Structure 1
Amino acid sequence: MNEETVRSIVAQVIEKFQNINMSEKQVPIAVSARHVHLSKEHMQILFGKDYELTKKADLSQPGQYAANETLTIAGRKGSIERVRVLGPVRSSTQIEISQTDAVKMGYEPPVRQSGEILNSSPCVIFGPKGSLHIEEGLIIAQRHIHMNPEDANLYGVSDGDLVTISVKSERPIQFDQVLIRVSDRYKLEMHIDTDEANAAAIHTGNSGVLIKKGFLHNE
């Protein structure tokens, strides 16, 4: 067997395994617990003038981290303590909770993409140095997948697409209308909240399979 034939066989084997891998477009999953993103202005109200967040641990998405700081959030019926603040600071304050949390607080926040807080639910936030009432900013985060452009090209999707993800677990489930978010700053990962994870016995580190492309988010 000559060298050219060997190279041809090796190339065919590699292509075969790549095709097998892409026939099941695996997406790692992370479970996102309730958390708060703060604006600089609101951070100083809650923690004091010129306060800076302190890092507890890096998150999977580049540049994002869990801070040591926690807050109490309150609604019409109840409150939730020790809600983790995530950094760095943002232009607007946003609080992401689960439906179970919403029932406890007495609110009906909309399911929204992160950053889309217009006409979302209000919330009261208590910090060690002060408190504030925000008129909007409380949401239930829409399940989504972070991808960089290379991932998106490989998986055949674009920013704003909605896809279906199938997850095999002790309680198999299919997630429809999963939003694709594409950026150079992202690492491949699907984010679901604790309610979604508990319903399907999913833990961070599990994975799902992208089984079909849905329709454009803005259609």
Structure 2
Amino acid sequence: MELTEENLRKIIHQVIQEQLGSNNDPNAIPIGVSNHHIHLTQEDFDKLFPGQQMEKFKQLKQPGEFASKQTCDVIGPTGTLKNVRVLGPVRTHSQVEIARSETFLLGVDAPIRLSGHLEGTPSVRLRTKDAEIEVQGVIVAKRHIHMSLEDAKRFGVKMGDSVAVEINSKDRRTIYDDVIARPRKDFVLEMHLDGDEASAANVRGNTVAHIIPKPKSTF
């Protein structure tokens, strides 16, 4: 079978379903814990890693996205995060995504935003052995759910809708409100939480989430 983007999406979907088990709940949403990471433009990548190509370290669940072998130090006014992973492919604007707890270490007041919404965000320095640059675009990623168009139809949501999500983990039940639906044709079903949120909900490898249905209007 030719490994096209469509076939890769099907393979990833099949793997997720197998991880959930043969008697899986069709409404169960796998949870991906998003650790701090960096997205770079081609120009910034070339400055930080002169003469290099972005090398794949690990395939991520969303088709075409991957963790690269390259890392940078993220330097703020009061502290440094060492060896933060660069994710590929390259973007049209560089950005750094961190957990809320890490904003205190770095000394930056990063807002909670969806990826790419960078207006008014603070700046940090990125450093490798070859270069150091300044990047404006530090955010704490707003929790969201990637899903296919078919998933969106099944859940009754559209791009940008806010939903409440319930997570039942060992010894803990957590409800996260204001989770943003992000359907796209090639997306694989996966809820993204940062490390702080996942830790608070006691998320483990097989923990899943469920969208809480909105009450039907009686009028």
Distance in 2 between residues matched to 1:180 and 1:211, nearest whole Å: 13
Hey, what does 1:126 align to over in structure 2? Answer: 127
The Cα of 1:204 is off from its aligned counterpart by: 4.0
Distance in 2 between residues matched to 1:204 and 1:115, nearest whole Å: 28
CA distance change for structure 1 residues 130 and 213 in 2, over 3 Å: closer, same or farther? farther
The Cα of 1:133 is off from its aligned counterpart by: 1.0
SS of the residue aligned with 1:43? helix
SS of the residue aligned with 2:213? strand
Does residue 167 (structure 1) correspond to residue 167 (structure 2)? The answer is: yes
Distance in 1 between residues matched to 2:214 and 2:185, nearest whole Å: 21
Does residue 212 (structure 1) correspond to residue 213 (structure 2)? The answer is: yes
Kindly indicate whether the alpha-carbon contact (under 8 Å) linking 1:31 and 1:204 is maintained by their aligned counterparts in 2.
Answer: no
Hey, what does 1:83 align to over in structure 2? Answer: 84
Of Structure 1 and Structure 2, the greater strand share is in: 1
Does residue 60 (structure 1) correspond to residue 61 (structure 2)? The answer is: yes
Kindly indicate whether the alpha-carbon contact (under 8 Å) linking 2:168 and 2:207 is maintained by their aligned counterparts in 1.
Answer: no
Q: Which runs of 4+ in 1 moved over 4 A?
A: none
SS of the residue aligned with 1:102? helix
Distance in 2 between residues matched to 1:139 and 1:92, nearest whole Å: 13
CA distance change for structure 1 residues 191 and 140 in 2, over 3 Å: closer, same or farther? same
The Cα of 1:54 is off from its aligned counterpart by: 0.4
The Cα of 1:52 is off from its aligned counterpart by: 1.2
Aligned sequence identity (%): 36
The Cα of 1:109 is off from its aligned counterpart by: 0.3
Bigger Rg over Cα: 1
CA distance change for structure 1 residues 30 and 103 in 2, over 3 Å: closer, same or farther? same
Hey, what does 1:6 align to over in structure 2? Answer: none
Gaps of 5+ in 1: 1-20, 215-219
**Counterpart AA for 1:40:** Q
Distance in 2 between residues matched to 1:185 and 1:128, nearest whole Å: 36
Hey, what does 1:100 align to over in structure 2? Answer: 101
Once the two structures are superposed, what CA deviation does each residue of 1:87-135 show, in whole Å capped at 9, x if it has no partner? Answer: 111111011000111110011100000011111111110022101012x
Distance in 2 between residues matched to 1:118 and 1:142, nearest whole Å: 15
**Counterpart AA for 1:112:** R
**Counterpart AA for 2:56:** K
TM-score (norm 2): 0.84
The Cα of 1:213 is off from its aligned counterpart by: 4.8
SS of the residue aligned with 2:32? strand
Hey, what does 2:156 align to over in structure 1? Answer: 156
Hey, what does 1:112 align to over in structure 2? Answer: 113
**Counterpart AA for 2:143:** R
Hey, what does 2:5 align to over in structure 1? Answer: none
Give the superposed CA RMSD.
1.6
SS of the residue aligned with 2:45? helix
Once the two structures are superposed, what CA deviation does each residue of 1:30-74 show, in whole Å capped at 9, x if it has no partner? Answer: 10100001100000111114x211001100111100111111001
Hey, what does 2:3 align to over in structure 1? Answer: none
The Cα of 1:192 is off from its aligned counterpart by: 0.2
TM-score (norm 1): 0.84
